A and B are shown apart, each in its own frame.
Chain A
Amino acid sequence: MGKGKVAFKGDGIIIFQEVSHAIQAEKLIRKHGYEVKLISPPPELRMGCDLALEINLVESHGIERILKEDNTAFVSLNPLMKGTADLCEIVKTTDYGQWVMVKAGNMKITFDKNSGLVVNVSGGGCPDIPYLHAEMVDKRLDEAPKPKELGYTLCAVMLDLAFQESLRLWNGGNN
């Protein structure tokens, strides 16, 4: 058996109100180098239209940003597999005395309680996390880049949850 090309199979789905929006979005997403496939949405996700886009769920944050920048309307972006849980939004904290570690999903951010300096970013497995680590560490929480603005992946989305909670805690527990 040779090295046959395996057809793209994603795990995320973008639902559109209009077929034309799905076609336009497919071209746009592909132009940015992402893999994407036009599909018929499963019955439970049908919104009255017949076309949706299958994507790599981990890339949803970057793709969502491209669609918004282009003003391409879409209805929702979800995991494709029926029964998949919602985005895990539980945040946990660990007090290390001078420092606090805030954990969201697979991502952790640790900051100095007094100075607000980010001292470490850990966890995750997507390529934007080492990049965010380099960009955020040794910066004060209110001066550090927001993971959601700089990152592309679901790991960055989770890190942003931890970051927002860190900011809230550093501001005395207020939003």
Chain B
Amino acid sequence: MLLLAGTIPDKNMPLTFGEVSLQNGSLVADGQQFNRFQGTGAMISAALATIKYLQLEPAKVLVVGDIGDGQGSRELYRYLIDNIAELSPEVFVMHYCLPIMTLMRQLCQAVRESDKKPIMVADAGAMYAAKGANLSSEFDIMTPDPSEIAFLADPKATHPAYIAEHLFECDASKIPEQIDAAFRNGSAAKLLLVKGKTDYIASGGNILATVNEPDVPMIEAIGGTGDTITGLVSGLVYSGMEPKEAAVVAAKTNRVAGELAKVTPATKVAELVDKFQSVFEKHLCQWSEVCCR
């Protein structure tokens, strides 16, 4: 099972678990409809496009409404703490949620006590919680953007709002140093995919690959385009692709989709996701052996 977990910006949405599908432009799980805009919805829609193209077993989602007060996030953590062992996903993705370090510690403890450890992917609030709780290394993949790699590089910060200004002021050329620092201080997952003007794929402090073509700078302004990378890499890993290769393919797919969609800063992320099928059809077999359809 590919399990995608996160919060949805609708305070009335109950905790919902089930197979997810795209219906008339909205995501639907267990009869609950939610949007695929920025955040968990964008991540899920990108993962969905990937597993649909590769004809994999449908993904399951665990989503709950939360508009920032953390009530839904707490429900999400507690459900996972109580059920992750029984759910036993092969790939487990934790995304938007309030970064609550105490609950992340309990969740990681529950995962450690499970019979089978899933491939664990974290981005957004889940990545903040893992880093703040000194548990990043229990995750297999994290997908920070440039401000978030500065956060991972700062050993004292427990949220990107409190990164040291000298790290935030760094230009893009310093990102390799920040990646190195994140691994040295134990704040990195086993593999990092750093999203930016150049995408860096790194493990153990070493840069394994970079992706910078095509250059579509306006992608940065579009809310949800980092979330789509997380969804892509998760779906690709679920297909059996090695994390490094999945990260490279995810980074390329997002860029080529942006180029195909002729994005501007006013583009909505769904327009990018709608191009993923075309990108896979045209490029996936050149980029990877995992491309059957």
Chain A residues engaging chain B, CB cutoff 8 angstroms: 1, 3-11, 32-35, 56-59, 62, 79, 81, 83-88, 90, 94, 96, 98-99, 101, 103, 105-106, 108, 110, 112, 119-131, 133-134, 137, 151-158
Query: B9 to A119, Cβ gap below 8 A?
Result: no
Which of A62, A83, A88 is within 8 Å of B165, CB to CB? A88
Residues in B whose Cβ lies below 8 Å from that of A110:
221, 265-266
Residues in B whose Cβ lies below 8 Å from that of A87:
161-162
CB distance from B268 to the nearest CB of A (A): 8
Which of B109, B147, B169, B264 is within 8 Å of A99, CB to CB? B264
Query: B9 to A57, Cβ gap below 8 A?
Result: no
Q: Which residue of A lies closest to B73 (CB)?
A: A127
Query: B157 to A123, Cβ gap below 8 A?
Result: no
Residues in B whose Cβ lies below 8 Å from that of A3:
81-82, 106, 109-110, 113
Query: A81 to B99, Cβ gap below 8 A?
Result: no
Complex Cα distance, B266 from A121, in Å, reads: 10
Q: Which residue of B lies closest to A7 (CB)?
A: B102
Chain B residues engaging chain A, CB cutoff 8 angstroms: 7-9, 35, 37-41, 66-74, 81-82, 96-102, 105-106, 109-110, 113, 123-128, 132, 145, 147-148, 151, 154, 156-165, 168-169, 217-218, 220-226, 264-268
Complex Cα distance, B109 from A101, in Å, reads: 40
Residues in A whose Cβ lies below 8 Å from that of B72:
127
Which of B125, B148, B158, B160 is within 8 Å of A81, CB to CB? B158
Residues in A whose Cβ lies below 8 Å from that of B70:
33-34, 56, 59, 62, 127, 152
Query: A153 to B98, Cβ gap below 8 A?
Result: yes
Which of A56, A98, A119, A133 is within 8 Å of B38, CB to CB? A133
CB distance from B98 to the nearest CB of A (A): 6
CB distance from B122 to the nearest CB of A (A): 10
Query: B157 to A120, Cβ gap below 8 A?
Result: no
Q: Which residue of A lies closest to B95 (CB)?
A: A125
Which of B74, B126, B168, B222 is within 8 Å of A122, CB to CB? B222
Complex Cα distance, B123 from A4, in Å, reads: 26
Complex Cα distance, B162 from A56, in Å, reads: 13
Q: Which residue of B lies closest to A56 (CB)?
A: B100
* A101-B127 contact in complex given A88-B161, A121-B38, C-beta closer than 8 Å: no
Query: A9 to B265, Cβ gap below 8 A?
Result: no
Complex Cα distance, B70 from A47, in Å, reads: 30
* A128-B67 contact in complex given A3-B106, A106-B161, C-beta closer than 8 Å: yes
Interface centre among B82, B110, B123, B125 (most CB of A within 10 A): B125
Which of A1, A90, A120, A128 is within 8 Å of B222, CB to CB? A120
Complex Cα distance, B221 from A154, in Å, reads: 20
Residues in B whose Cβ lies below 8 Å from that of A134:
9, 35, 37
CB distance from A70 to the nearest CB of B (A): 16
Query: B162 to A84, Cβ gap below 8 A?
Result: yes
Query: A99 to B266, Cβ gap below 8 A?
Result: yes
* A6-B73 contact in complex given A122-B221, A154-B159, C-beta closer than 8 Å: no
* A99-B9 contact in complex given A58-B99, A126-B99, C-beta closer than 8 Å: no
CB distance from B202 to the nearest CB of A (A): 19
Query: B165 to A85, Cβ gap below 8 A?
Result: yes
Query: A127 to B125, Cβ gap below 8 A?
Result: yes
Residues in B whose Cβ lies below 8 Å from that of A131:
9, 67-68
Query: B97 to A1, Cβ gap below 8 A?
Result: no
Query: A9 to B164, Cβ gap below 8 A?
Result: no
Complex Cα distance, B37 from A107, in Å, reads: 16
CB distance from A149 to the nearest CB of B (A): 12
Complex Cα distance, B34 from A141, in Å, reads: 26
Query: B38 to A90, Cβ gap below 8 A?
Result: no
Residues in B whose Cβ lies below 8 Å from that of A156:
68
